[in-house]
Amino acid sequence: MFMAKNNSYNKHYTMDIIRFVYLVACCCILYITIKKKTSDQIEKYDNIKEGDYSQKSSCELSNPNSTDEDSIRDTEDLKYTLETVNAWISNCDQKTNILLSIMGVAITILLSSDFVIKLRQIIFTPFVQYWTGERTNIAFSLGKSCVFILLLSSAAFVIKSCHYLFKAIGANIDYTAMYNTNPQLPKQSYIFFKTISQMSYKQFQDDYIDIKEDLKAQIYVNSKIATNKFENYKQGMFWFKILLISTVMLFISIMIM
């Protein structure tokens, strides 16, 4: 009888050690992955700063008559460039919508299944009862604590990923701030529908339209929008990958709970 109890205690103690090691390994993996992404972003930012400095230096040393190169590009080339930039914007929106749809379907399946109900009975209900003082005889469980921590982490990663993905969909540029930084931009665009709608037809009809300069400005503004969208999409995709890792760890911890 004593040996049976001793073996049961040793087995339980061994499982607690395994759960603890697994929890520490999960935390280390998530920390290293996030840390690596942060280091890559810092290195990328430094490279961009160096590139901007070298580009600025080369521009200062270049021929001041280099604007003649712009006159070579005709209107059709500018239209093609604008269409290409717009295609990249549409591509980013499509990929963002697909990723959000995948997350929405997965969350819907989980919420409509018995998984959440059982998880609530096993994890959340005892925790709430212990916290509110309804039950004080609940023993500490390392396995349940591991599941609880990974579950909260997964929820945080879902929120983080959705935050950047929604920012990617609604990425806009403050044209006024951009104009203050780049006064060479035209104050009004005769291509963008919003600025056209704010004019009277008489003003739109009488104003001189430099379509070439307007196309250049629109290409520049849309390129800023595309860059903003893709930066947010990359961030959302990164946190989505972290979410997948955390979810796999969560299911493994449930199996060994």
Mean pLDDT estimate for the chain: 74
Q: Which of 62-66, 148-152, 173-177 has the lowest mean pLDDT?
A: 62-66
Q: How far apart are CA 90 and CA 94, in angstroms?
A: 6
Q: Is the pLDDT of residue 164 over 80?
A: yes
Q: How far apart are CA 21 and CA 24, in angstroms?
A: 5
Residue-wise over 152-180: b if at least 16 C-beta within 10 A, else e?
Answer: ebbeebbebbbebbebbeebeeebeeeee
The angle that helices 211-255 and 75-112 make with each other, rounded to 10 degrees, is 20
- How does pLDDT run across 104-152, given as a tens digit for each residue? 888 888 878 777 777 777 777 777 776 776 666 666 677 777 888 888 8
Q: Which pair of structure tokens corresponds to residue 184?
A: 């060479």
In sign, the C-alpha dihedral spanning 219, 220, 221, 224 is: positive
Q: How far apart are CA 79 and CA 219, in angstroms?
A: 9
What is the model's pTM? 0.70
Q: Which pair of structure tokens corresponds to residue 254?
A: 């449930």
Q: How far apart are CA 228 and CA 165, in angstroms?
A: 11
**What are φ and ψ of residue 179, in 5° steps?**
-70, -35
Q: What is the length of the chain?
A: 257
Mean pLDDT of 93-109: 90
Band (68; pLDDT cuts 50, 70, 90) = very low
Q: How far apart are CA 94 and CA 78, in angstroms?
A: 24
